[in-house]
């Protein structure tokens, strides 16, 4: 049987350590032991932090008045986010010698709040912007992640290791990143909670990028309360990320009974369908819970829906080369440009590019010049389809949030830069299911309050049984 300590969410665990019921060291050791026992099968953790126990001991020595809101909470960080002293590989064997000297600002904030960094989580290589057709959760550096609900199930991507680790209780919570569905997908596929915040709310400095228009970090957790707690710690401006200077940190007090009187728009047949029977059943369950909690539901459609059915990625292709080269220019031991990555992968394809590198080629073929007309037109089209003729007219109706079956709204919210959260709705045929809520830009606090109330009504997160 798992250690009872592993059942506590971040807020409860930190409170127990601050009270003296537990020590940060014994909690850290419990999670390190679980990683050692289960990670060889799941491959969710790519690097274990050898200093985790020493970090926990230092936290235990702090006087009570210096203990932060995440005191002693063991976290995993997706391996495209810089953690001082640990490799940042983005899943590529080419990057295993790249060891940043400084934490990304979001990691520094987590440490300052008392978190213990257990290590780095596996991911789909280059955050799933390497090629088309590569399995979710595969990287040359970390291997193939395995869904703890069943080895044949999708782990989601690209924050695959983060989703698997939270579901399998290899950490209390994990930090992922999303450009388009990379937090939401692994959270839903593994039956946990995933928050993609408003773009810019959490600074992106120190994160291996894809797209400055869409990239964001965000938490994968067991409770919405934990997602709000982690967001509150990580959010705030950073001088090196202009987008982060435009957004105030929201009020993340989770109002009780937030759904009473809330106006929720329901998209039954969203762009990019079809909607499966399992997804419709999940949607129906969420609708029943919303109505019972006092929310008013309204069926809505997107004016730009037919255009959004054809997913396009020109913006990402252009921004990837520009943004990745800026990050790689600071790498001391490893590739210094996208061109060097492609050349090295081509020299050893069996080991380094098992599934190809179609998207890397496409990005390299651009000039990386964001003043080009083709790029500017693609970005303007994305904003017109997802904001001007997409989500904004619906929110102008007075809707607090939009409800999507499964993950069908992920790309709309991602291109718009608006916040989304996915919530589990239980199991169907042994597989996790869920729904997605999207809110207006900057509505993260309100969206999380609605999500917390809905999650309570739906029964919360279930954990998969340990293998026999």
**Enzyme catalytic residues:** 78, 158, 182
Token pair for 298: 């309204």
- Go through the chain and tell me how many residues it has: 468
Q: Give CA–CA dist 180/162, Å, rounded.
A: 16
Which residues, listed in sequence order, are joined to residue 138 by a DSSP beta bridge?
Answer: 144
Strand partners, 9: none
Is residue 386 classed as helix, strand or coil in its secondary structure? helix
Cα distance between residue 89 and residue 111, in whole Å: 21
The residue among 273, 272, 297, 261 whose CA lies nearest residue 446 is 261
CA torsion angle 166 171 173 178 (round to 10): -60
The partner residues of 431 in beta bridges, in order of sequence, read 428
- Cβ count within 10 A of residue 392: 15
Number of H helices, E strands in the chain: 18, 13
Rounded distance, CA 340 to CA 361, Å? 12
81-102 exposure pattern, b = at least 16 Cβ within 10 A, e = fewer = bbbbebbbbbbbbbbbebbbee
CB 436 within 8 A of CB 301: no
Main-chain phi, psi angles of 175, to 5 degrees: -105, 130
Alpha carbon distance 210, 199 (integer Å): 13
- Within 8 A by CB and 6+ apart from 386, the residues are 304, 308, 412, 413, 415, 416
Query: At 266, phi and psi to the nearest 5?
Result: -115, 125
CA-CA distance, 283 to 305, in Å (whole number)?
A: 19
3-state secondary structure of 278: helix
In whole angstroms, what is the distance from residue 436 CA to residue 423 CA? 6
In which residue are the tokens 């200077």 written? 245
Nearest-5° angle of CA 137, CA 404, CA 273? 75
CA angle centred on 376, ends 374 and 382, rounded to 5°: 100
Angle between helices 373-383 and 314-328 (to 10 degrees): 120
């Amino acid at each position: 049987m798992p250690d009872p300590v592993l059942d506590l969410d971040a807020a409860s665990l930190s409170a127990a350590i601050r009270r003296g019921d537990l020590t940060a060291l014994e909690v850290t050791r419990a999670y390190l032991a679980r990683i050692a026992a289960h990670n060889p099968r799941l491959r969710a953790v790519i690097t274990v932090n050898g200093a985790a126990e020493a970090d926990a001991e230092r936290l235990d020595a702090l006087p009570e008045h210096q203990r932060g809101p995440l005191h002693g909470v063991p976290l995993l960080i997706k391996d495209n986010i810089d953690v001082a002293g640990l490799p940042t590989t983005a899943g590529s064997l080419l990057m295993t010698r790249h060891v940043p000297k400084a934490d990304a600002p979001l990691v520094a904030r987590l440490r300052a709040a008392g978190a213990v960094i257990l290590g780095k989580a596996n991911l789909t290589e280059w955050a799933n912007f390497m090629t088309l057709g590569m399995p979710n959760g595969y990287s040359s550096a970390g291997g193939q992640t395995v869904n703890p609900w069943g080895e044949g199930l999708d782990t989601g991507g690209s924050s695959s290791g983060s989703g698997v680790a939270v579901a399998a209780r290899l950490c209390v919570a994990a930090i992922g990143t999303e450009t388009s569905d990379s937090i939401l997908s692994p959270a839903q596929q593994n039956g946990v909670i995933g928050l993609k915040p408003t773009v810019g709310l959490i600074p992106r400095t120190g994160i291996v990028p894809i797209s400055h228009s869409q990239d964001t970090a965000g938490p994968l957790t067991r409770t919405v309360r934990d997602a709000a707690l982690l967001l509150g710690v990580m959010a705030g401006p950073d001088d090196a990320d202009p987008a982060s200077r435009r957004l105030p940190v929201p009020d993340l007090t989770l109002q009780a009974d937030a759904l009473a009187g809330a106006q929720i728009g329901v998209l039954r047949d969203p762009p990019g369908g079809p909607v499966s029977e399992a997804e419709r059943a999940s949607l129906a369950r969420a609708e029943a819970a919303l109505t019972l909690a006092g929310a008013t539901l309204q069926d809505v459609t997107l004016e730009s829906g037919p255009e959004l059915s054809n997913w396009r990625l020109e913006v990402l292709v252009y921004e990837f080369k520009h943004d990745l080269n800026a990050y790689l220019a600071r790498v001391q031991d490893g590739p210094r440009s996208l061109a060097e990555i492609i050349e090295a992968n081509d020299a050893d394809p069996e080991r380094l590019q098992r599934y190809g590198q179609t998207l890397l080629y496409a990005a390299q073929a651009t000039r990386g010049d964001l003043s080009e007309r083709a790029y500017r037109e693609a970005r303007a089209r994305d904003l017109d389809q997802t904001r001007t003729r997409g989500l904004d007219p619906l929110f102008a109706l007075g809707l607090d949030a939009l409800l999507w079956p499964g993950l069908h709204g992920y790309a709309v919210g991602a291109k718009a830069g608006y916040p989304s959260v996915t919530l589990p709705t239980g199991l169907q045929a042994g597989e996790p299911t869920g729904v997605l809520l999207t809110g207006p830009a900057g509505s993260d606090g309100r969206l999380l309050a609605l999500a917390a109330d809905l999650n309570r009504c739906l029964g919360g997160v279930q954990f998969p049984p340990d293998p026999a």
